[in-house]
Structure 1
């Protein structure tokens, strides 16, 4: 039987992995979360990161590693279905996964991070990894690829009311996992200030023209988990958005292939 090229590590035999590794491919490591995304959208947004990693791998000849489905999701821990890791656990887990590839001489590794809450931990990890192991690891976060212009094009309106618990996650799920979306559970946004302060996230507070850092939990800002408008979601928006994500991801990985990732070790 003719062997068909595989891009998903979990489907390879170790002999197939051995052959693939000889080409020193880009290794994509998807990460996401298992946490609330509003009453209507499934908790497993890691599936989006995994699907994106696989689509990019197929188009670039890369290898997509098994997804890490949990995040540093402490801000959402009060909602049923949330599974979060301690920061040091996420750091060590990501490090060990990356080290499992560099020990075979693979030096082009890219994290496909689908949860913004993971970014601070992972930024620290990839910098420390560079110093300790002498390999620069790349990382992408697809939701940072949005621009005001692209959002206006996608939603046919300027400044669409997107946000956690609404869109774009619902539109992406309507495109990829429509059977898991519950239109009947869509709820309106319940915005709460925090003691008269205007939160811009889970660690930043504004008042007048001032900003300072103060940690809060998601439940303190939105008891139903909604910080955006889910009624703007559609399968059509999700499909167009996904096409844009894959295109941008492929372009980034192709450019990443040209980067010399080997560097001097600088241990403390």
Structure 2
């Protein structure tokens, strides 16, 4: 793995030199939201940054500073959670894409540690593609479902929720074990109402601890096994993206 090109730590002459070898930038995007009693409020930020560093180290892409706020509607009433709107998040991506384009960057990869951001990132990527002809890829732990099969032991609490449970806690134990307080991990399986998937529902209405599953079953070994496959898939997608971008610009 090569040294990571951290955009914010380069001087401008260093940036100009580095730009001769890469024209792709990676933006980690997280959120500030509750993650139970055992994970910090900035869990999605530290995970997105650590994940993006692994990808940048293998692909040579520039690593941008982590965008620390995201769309957190479902959990915004939990103590400590902060949220911005989808429109704000989309506007940030559009403005950043224009700025990157001015710096001769040919493509942007968004790596989100927070699933709630993905709708806005997908819309932003479409808008940037149409308005600027600037390609944007958006990733959230690619191949996560396949990677977790046979590794996770506890049942999931909901098919579309990965939050402070065995899976997310294992990922954090792999990427940043220093932020995890496993002695505080708990197990909670909410009783979801029948209309949970089809009407807006604040998650504090169905959950007390902020853990959606069994965090006590998490381990670093499980997280390592999952992240090896996830990082491999992300690197594969980024390399494909780089090739497509450079063919377009030839």
Aligned to 2:180: 181
Bigger shift: residues 218-227 or 56-65:
218-227
* Structure 1 partner of 2:149: 152
Whether the 8 Å CA contact 2:109–2:138 is kept in 1: the answer is yes
Which residue of the partner structure matches residue 228 of structure 1? Answer: 213
Cα distance, 1:190 vs structure 2: 4.4
The corresponding residue for 2:127 is 128
User: 2:47–2:113: 8 Å Cα contact kept in structure 1?
Assistant: yes
Question: How far apart are the structure 2 equivalents of 1:188 and 1:115?
Answer: 21
Pairing partner for 2:23 from 12, 22, 25: 25
Deviation at 1:48, TM superposition (A): 0.9
Mark the runs of 5 or more structure 2 residues left unpaired by the alignment. Answer: none
Distance apart, 1:73 and its partner CA? 0.5
* TM-score where L is the length of structure 1: 0.82
The structure that has the greater radius of gyration is 1
Cα RMSD over matched residues? 2.2
Map of 1:96 onto structure 2:
95
- Counting only pairs closer than 5 Å after superposition, residues 19-168 of structure 1 correspond to structure 2 as 19-44=17-42, 45-142=44-141, 144-148=142-146, 150-155=147-152, 157=153, 160-161=155-156, 163-168=162-167
Instruction: Give yes or no for contact 2:4–2:60 (8 Å, CA) kept in 1.
Output: no
Residue pair 2:164, 2:215 contacting (<8 A) in 1 also: yes
CA distance in 1, matches of 2:246, 2:126: 12
Which blocks of at least 5 consecutive residues in structure 1 are unaligned?
205-212, 264-268
- Of stretches 26-35 and 161-170 in structure 1, the one that deviates more from structure 2 is 161-170
> How many residues align structurally?
242
Alpha-carbon distance between aligned partners in 2 of 1:220 and 1:260, rounded to the nearest angstrom: 45
1:145-192: CA deviation from partner (whole Å, max 9, x where unpaired): 2235x323323x5x7436412122211222233232222322221413
User: Is the deviation greater in 169-178 or in 113-122?
Assistant: 169-178
